Amino acid sequence: MLRSFTVPFVILFVAASCGGASGPGAAVPPAPSATQLRAATPSPTSALRSTAIAGSRLSAADLATLAGFFTDDPFAGGQKAPALSLWANEDTFLWLQLDKDDPKVATTVTAWGLGTKGTYCAESMPDPAGKSFTRFQQHTAASFARGGGGAPGAQGYWLTAISVVRPGIDYAYAPTAAPPACGSAQPPSFAPAGAAKLAGDKLKRFVTFFDSRLLVGGQIAPRLYKSVNEDVSLMIQLNGTDPATVTDLRYIGLSTRGVFCKQAQPSADFPHYHRQTAPTYAEGHGGPPGESAGFWLLWVATRPIVDASGKVTAPTGVDRQFSIMKDIPACP
C-alpha cells in the first residue's frame, strides 16, 4: 500500500486521539451530545474556496437507512449511549451522532467515530501522543454519564470523534480526565455481548449504501463515499470496493472539499489531497499549488493495519501517514 508522496510544485503524477482518575467523589464527566461538537480543526480561510462540484445533502430516506445499520449496543448496566452503534469487528464499534437524539426526527449526521476496547490506563490509551481518543467509557455503568472515566484499570472503550460539522478529528469531544498510570498496559478482558465482525449481508448492504461518486474523468477510487452535505462525505475503505466480495472494513473517515496548498490543509489528520478530475486514479494525487477542484481525506483505522510481513503499519485510530503527501506547497 502506498504510504507517502513527495509533492513538487507541479502537477503530481504517481503510481499507484486535567489529570487524575474519576473517583467516587469526582465530578461526573458530561455525556456527549449532538450540541457539544467543537472541532479543533480550523476551517480554511474564505479566500481558499474549493471549486469541486458540491455534494448533495443526505435525504431523509438515506439518513434512515444509515441509522438503520447502527442497531448494536456495546454497553451494559443500564446506560444508554447518546449515539448509535455498529460493531466493525470483535474489538471496535463504529458510532454515529445525529443532530437529534431521536433518529426519527433527525435531519443530518453531525459526527461519527470509533469505540475500541481498552482499559483506563495511561499505558493503554490509544494514540497517546496525538490524544485523538478523548473519552473513556466504561463497559458497565448505571448511566452513560457515570460511565465516563473510572478507577485505574477500568474496563471499557476509548472513543474518538470525527466531526462533520467542522470536518476533522474533534479533540474536544466529551473529554474524560487524563487516564491514571497503572504501571503497565492492561489489556481488556471483558467480552461484550454481540461483538462480532461486520460481515455477510449486513456488510454488503452497508457497503452498497456508500454510492456517491466524487471522482470523475476515468478514476476508480479504492474507497467508497456517501455525501452528507455540500462539502463533506463519509468515507469507508475495505479490502476492495465490490459489495459482493469485500470482507474487511479497515477504515472509516471523511472527505472534504478543499484547496491543495499548505495553508488550506485542514490539519495533519488529513494527509492526502485528491483531485476531482483526472484520467486515472494515480494521476489524481495532489496537483499544482492552489488546485481547488479536489478533496482532503482523513482515515481512521478500525483495527491495527498490518503489512504482508505481519508488521503493524498503523494502529487503531487516525492514520496520519496514510498516503501522506510530503512537501505540500504554499498557497499561491
Among 5-19, 80-94, 148-162, 215-229, whose mean pLDDT is lowest? 5-19
pTM over 0.75: yes
291-302 burial code (b ≥16 CB/10 A, e <16) = bbbbbbbbbbbb
| Residue entry with cell 461538537 | 37
pLDDT of residue 67: 98
* CA pair distance 189, 317, nearest whole angstrom: 20
Number of domains in the chain: 1
Residue 67, in any domain of the structure: no
Would strands 4-6 and 324-326 be described as parallel, antiparallel, or unpaired?
Answer: parallel
Query: In this predicted model, what pLDDT tens digit does every residue of 117-170 receive, in sequence order?
Result: 999 999 999 999 999 999 999 999 999 999 999 999 999 999 999 999 999 999
Which alpha helices (H) appear in 175-328, and where do they start and end?
A: 200-209
17 occurs within a structural domain? no
Flag whether pLDDT at 47 surpasses 80: no
241 found inside a domain: yes
Radius of gyration of the chain, Cα coordinates, nearest whole angstrom: 20
Please give the Cα distance from 159 to 175 (Å, whole number): 9
Packing angle of the helix pair 200-209, 60-69 (nearest 10 deg): 150
Average pLDDT value over all residues in the chain: 88
Q: Rounded to whole angstroms, how far apart are CA atoms 159 and 116?
A: 7
331 domain-assigned: no
Query: Of 15, 17, 10, which is closest to residue 173 (Cα–Cα)?
Result: 17
Grid cell digits, residue 150: 473510572
88 domain-assigned: no
Query: Quick count: other Cβ atoms within 10 Å of Cβ 229?
Result: 16
Pairing between strand 305-306 and 291-301? Answer: unpaired
Instruction: Kindly report the backbone phi and psi dihedral angles of residue 235, in degrees, each rounded to the nearest multiple of 5, phi listed first.
Output: -135, 140
Instruction: Give the whole-angstrom CA distance, residue 160 versus residue 131.
Output: 9
Q: Is residue 26 part of a domain?
A: no
Query: Which 8-state DSSP code applies to residue 32?
Result: P
Which helix or strand (DSSP H or E) is residue 93 part of? strand 92-98
Q: Once rounded to an integer, what is the mean pLDDT over residues 23-28? A: 34
- Residue 263 maps to a domain: yes
Mean of pLDDT values over 22-26: 34
pLDDT in tens, 167-215: 999 999 999 999 999 999 999 999 999 999 999 999 999 999 999 999 9
> Which domain covers residue 228, as residue numbers?
200-326
Q: pLDDT value at position 48?
A: 80
Please tell me the distance from the alpha carbon of residue 131 to that of residue 312, in angstroms, as a whole number.
19
- Whole-angstrom CA distances from 284 to 51, 219, 253, 260, 312 are 15, 8, 19, 12, 28
* % of the chain with per-residue pLDDT over 90: 85
Q: Is residue 124 part of a domain?
A: no
All three cell numbers of 4, joined, read 507517502
